[in-house]
Structure 1
Amino acid sequence: MTKIFAHRGYSGKYPENTLKSFKKAIDYGAQGIETDVQMSRDGELILIHDEKIDRTSNGTGYVFNMSYNELLELDFGEWKRKKFRGEKIPKLSELLELVQDKNIELNLEIKNNIIHYPNIEEKIITLISDFQMEDRVIISSFNHESVLKCKSINKKIRCGPLTYSNLINPHKYINEYKFDTFHPMYRSLDSEKIQVLKNNGTPIYTYTVDIKEEMNFLIKNGIEGIITNEIEIALSCLINQ
């Protein structure tokens, strides 16, 4: 059965990658949460999509140039709407603590394809292990070397490559590097490609699907996960299949 993953939390209605967005995703019934992991100057694992804080905060500059305490001084909610003023940037540990006792899966995207964060893979996997959540976390990244590194550190954690453009014979690529999952952009999928991947035993978690017709198509074709900003629409599609 297809699972609905909240893209950066319930980012359609709430400020992305904040605890409020994650909590609301759970409240509305999402079965999973997708989020982005980067690292502050002092080594804290924090959840933010952009390499710079300009778009989603009242500050400016690169994440890696700022300490965690400096980031905590900023507002990460008001850019969405004034009523969300006061939302802070969360740490990965806060999200793990939030979902630890809930039936929620996590898809952690390591954002190290533009900025290199030394040893971020080891830090993430150590934290997942500390929370004993290896079986409920999927790690993905556009940096496929980083995904392979994660897999070499802990084979219990599912890991898979993110792709934006079409791959030739993606099932062969998955097999060659022994990835557990595949994370393509949804427009690169059609029924034939989905079937080949399913025949290969490759779970598909596709992003970022906000159109009802596309959701219905993907659910009917039996993909494992839809990552979306529009949780309520996706869940209604799931119910009505």
Structure 2
Amino acid sequence: MPDLPARRPQVVAHRGASFELAEHTLGAYLEALDTGAGGLECDVRLTADGHLVCVHDRDLRRTASNKGLVSTMDLAELSELDFAAWKNPWADLDDEAPDEDEGLRGVLTLRKLLETVADYDRRVEVAIETKHPTRYGGLVEKRLVEMLRDFGWDQAGAPVRVMSFSFTALQRVERLAPEIQLVQLLDKPNYWPMLRRVIGKDWIVGPGIRMLRDHPRVAESIARSERDIHVWTVNSEKSLQRCLDLGVKAVISDRPRLMLDLLDARFGPEPSGR
């Protein structure tokens, strides 16, 4: 495959600045914004009372020390939980640690995240992943599109895109709002030959960095497809270089500050500064 000209990809903060701070908390996203990330990534699930919240796992064992399922709990119940303590379990023993705003530690609704982005002083894009399978099926995409319409972000040029490993879920979004940008996530190399034939002509491909590393022929095939490529989860200089070699448009990273520093060293600071 001929070498592609290196270009600076967008840096998207995976669940916020999740290497330093607890994923999917407002604190993690504000840190990513302050760092200068060009985009934010989040996973969304639907609560029992119909709210979209930014949570990756179907249950809360890992991130909130609770055995409950997101889909069976109301937003009020989730709001009583601490979603940040797991990241630094010894924080309470540090007498010199500054007091932290509790609003930065709790469950984060998608609406709050989008309001934060809408009010920010520069354009920031949001990559929203819908999780499947889920007991609510297509209702997740329906509620998501309704919310994007509330912001006027269901049109071409809006600062949002919807991602999923589920081809069917992305088809739902396309039917509901044909102008929303879509990203077909991909983690198994044997899926690519089929997906390349059925996904929409303007859809973005979102492969995992491990797949690109371990299956170079598939990586080259994706690069030759002339589709935009957004890669997850890129956390090292070596992984970033692999993305640059393939000409990817966006790198999704737990460490947005590191990625931005590496790109500044390679391409120079972005004109807007950070």
> Does residue 142 of the first structure (1) align with residue 165 of the second (2)?
yes
Given candidates 135, 151, 154, the residue that maps to 1:131 is 151
1:97 alignment counterpart: 115
Gaps of 5+ in 2: 1-7, 92-96, 267-274
Q: 2:179 aligns with which of 156, 169, 176?
A: 156
Q: Percent identity?
A: 26
Counterpart residue number, 1:188: 211
In the aligned structure 1, how far is the partner of 2:16 from the partner of 2:257?
12
Deviates more, 1:193-202 or 1:36-45: 193-202
Residue correspondence of structure 1 range 12-91 to structure 2 within 5 A: 12-81=19-88, 82=91, 86=102, 87-91=105-109
Q: Go from structure 1 to structure 2 and tell me whether the alpha carbon gap of 1:167 and 1:3 turns closer, same or farther (over 3 Å shift).
A: farther
In structure 2, distance between residues paired with 1:105 and 1:174: 25
Q: 1:201 aligns with which of 214, 226, 231?
A: 226
Are positions 1:173 and 2:195 aligned together?
A: yes
Deviations 1:169-210 (A, max 9, x none): 55x624523151111111222676555444433111111111
Once the two structures are TM-superposed, the CA of residue 115 in structure 1 deviates from its matched residue by 4.3
The code of the aligned residue for 2:35 comes to Y
Q: Secondary structure of the residue that 2:239 maps to in structure 1?
A: helix
Distance 2:160 2:196 in 1: 19
| Rounded Cα–Cα distance in structure 2 between residues aligned with 1:44 and 1:168 | 32
Structure 1 contact 197–203 (Cα < 8 Å) conserved: no
Over the aligned positions, Cα root-mean-square deviation in angstroms equals 2.0
TM-score by length of 1: 0.91
Indicate the SS of the match to 2:85. Answer: coil
Q: Deviations over 1:147-171 (max 9, x none)?
A: 111111111111122111114655x
Secondary structure, counterpart of 1:14 in structure 2: coil
Q: Deviations over 1:97-140 (max 9, x none)?
A: 00014311111010122544451101101111211223211111
Separation in structure 2 between the aligned mates of residue 225 and residue 18 of structure 1, nearest angstrom: 22
Of 185, 190, 213, the match for 2:238 = 213
CA distance 1:205–1:75, shift in 2 (3 Å): same
Tell me what 2:131 maps to. Answer: 111
Structure 1: distance between partners of 2:163 and 2:259: 22
Structure 1, residues 55-111: CA drift from partner, whole Å, max 9, x if none? 111322111110000000111111112366831101110011000143111110101
Q: TM-score scaled by structure 2?
A: 0.81
Can you give the 5+ residue segments of structure 1 that lack an aligned partner in the other structure?
none
Larger-Rg structure: 2
Counterparts of 1:56 and 1:132 in 2: how far apart (Å)?
Answer: 32
Count of matched residue pairs: 240
